[in-house]
Amino acid sequence: MVTLKDVAKRANVSLSTASYSMNGSPLITNETRQKVLTAAEEIGYRPNGMAKNLKTKKTNIIGLFLSGFTGPFFNDMVEGIQDVVMENGYELVVCASVETHRLLVERYVDGAIILNYHMEDQLLQTLANEKMPFVVMDREIQNPYIKNIVLPNHEGAKMIVDYLVQKGHARIGFVGGSEESYDGETRLTGFVKALSKHGMMLEESDLIRADFTEESGYTEMKAFMEMKSSIPSAFVCANDEMAMGAIRAARENGIKVPEELAITGFDDIFVSRHFTPSLTTVKVPRKEWGTIAAQTLFKMLNKDFDYTPEGLKVELMTRNSG
């Protein structure tokens, strides 16, 4: 591991000069500082976050690690997290890229909230400890220093299936996203399980894969309709945006929603109630989800590792699309 001593040697300066340079001290000339920074870059030196806080061993920073930050779903969730972080006198750093491991490895944060499928379970298991606990929102891990705060996706899927079956639908398809998405896949497995309780099954050919965006929902549903001579009477989509795209595709194919094809979503984003037709969907308490995740993390930071957070509830919103 490259150390500050290696940087000092490379730049041909004293260890104290190297330290002052890396920390931007006004005692160091610009020429010397640049020489030290160049040396650090050449040998791949990375300052240790903990070294900056030797007295308190704390950074007072919470890391939020996302696999992406697009779409309207995240706004309320992040707001819930941010409110709790600020109430506790901490700062929130949001990272939405694949290469975020260094912030955890070098302990630039006191704790982390994870909603990033790029970060492997093994990495999180290795890094989590009493002084740097994690909350995961996109998987389930058994670890004393990691709490799972996940959505009741099976419950929501059951609600929507029961509703559609009650409306008389006997063949129901599903529009899912990436297989790497925990929420998308648990909504799919919950959907299949709910169908089975009604003596029904998901035909393999009625499973459409998109990528959670409205445009992908439109493109994949359009392709599906062009290929099929027979289609289901209803589709459950793993989120609202794909549902809205699917409805656009149906309309372009001259199919009336919901008269000829019911299409439902999941999440109840703000625009879903204003879309035409308004979207039947499952309401997810996004801000509360973020709030509970952050509250749970601070419980662990205060050494309460036995804390059990309250469960989240979802609600079926019956509107005009199905």
* 102 pLDDT more than 80: no
52 belongs to a structural domain: no
- Which of these ranges, 149-153, 248-252, 307-311, has the smallest mean pLDDT? 307-311
* Whether residues 276 and 290 fall in one domain: no
Q: 230-280, pLDDT tens digit by residue?
A: 999 999 999 999 999 999 999 999 999 999 999 999 999 999 999 999 999
Given CA atoms 22, 26, 32, 38 in this order, what sign does their dihedral have? positive
CA–CA gap between residue 57 and residue 48 (Å, rounded): 12
Structural domain of 123: 61-150+286-312
Mean pLDDT within 64-79: 82
CA–CA gap between residue 265 and residue 258 (Å, rounded): 13
Contacts with 54 (C-beta within 8 Å, 6 or more apart), sequence order? none
* 73 pLDDT more than 80: no
* Whether residues 195 and 263 fall in one domain: yes
* 174 pLDDT more than 90: yes
* Whether residues 259 and 146 fall in one domain: no
What CATH number did the domain enclosing 200 receive? Answer: 3.40.50.2300
99 belongs to a structural domain: yes
10 belongs to a structural domain: yes
Look at residue 173 in the predicted model and tell me its pLDDT: 98
Contacts with 130 (C-beta within 8 Å, 6 or more apart), sequence order? 145, 303, 305
36 belongs to a structural domain: yes
| CA of residue 250 relative to chain centroid, distance | 29
Look at residue 111 in the predicted model and tell me its pLDDT: 97
* 49 pLDDT more than 60: no
Residue with tokens 């999941």: 266
Q: Show the tokens assigned to 203.
A: 């035909």
How many domains is the chain partitioned into structurally?
A: 3
* 185 pLDDT more than 60: yes
* 152 pLDDT more than 80: yes
CA–CA gap between residue 317 and residue 281 (Å, rounded): 5
CA–CA gap between residue 322 and residue 94 (Å, rounded): 37
* 52 pLDDT more than 80: no
262 belongs to a structural domain: yes
- Which of these ranges, 54-68, 133-147, 228-242, has the smallest mean pLDDT? 54-68
3-state class of 15 per DSSP?
Answer: helix
* Whether residues 128 and 165 fall in one domain: no
Residue 262: count other Cβ atoms within 10 Å of its Cβ: 21
* Whether residues 221 and 236 fall in one domain: yes
Average pLDDT value for the chain: 91
- In the structure, what pLDDT confidence band is assigned to residue 48 with cuts at 50, 70 and 90? low
Q: Show the tokens assigned to 189.
A: 């497995």
**For residues 284 and 156, is the Cβ–Cβ distance under 8 A?**
yes
CA–CA gap between residue 246 and residue 239 (Å, rounded): 11
* Whether residues 123 and 212 fall in one domain: no
* Whether residues 165 and 219 fall in one domain: yes
* Whether residues 188 and 119 fall in one domain: no
Look at residue 118 in the predicted model and tell me its pLDDT: 83
Of the ranges 23-27, 86-90, 253-257, the best mean pLDDT one: 253-257
* Whether residues 66 and 179 fall in one domain: no
Give the predicted TM-score (pTM) of the model.
Answer: 0.81
Look at residue 293 in the predicted model and tell me its pLDDT: 98
3-state class of 217 per DSSP?
Answer: helix
* 16 pLDDT more than 60: yes
55 belongs to a structural domain: no
- In the structure, what pLDDT confidence band is assigned to residue 100 with cuts at 50, 70 and 90? low
* Whether residues 219 and 290 fall in one domain: no
Mean pLDDT within 301-312: 94
- Which of these ranges, 17-26, 125-134, 185-194, has the smallest mean pLDDT? 17-26
Look at residue 46 in the predicted model and tell me its pLDDT: 65
* Whether residues 125 and 240 fall in one domain: no
186 belongs to a structural domain: yes
* Whether residues 179 and 140 fall in one domain: no
* 25 pLDDT more than 80: no
CA–CA gap between residue 264 and residue 258 (Å, rounded): 10
319 belongs to a structural domain: no
Residue with tokens 């925990």: 182
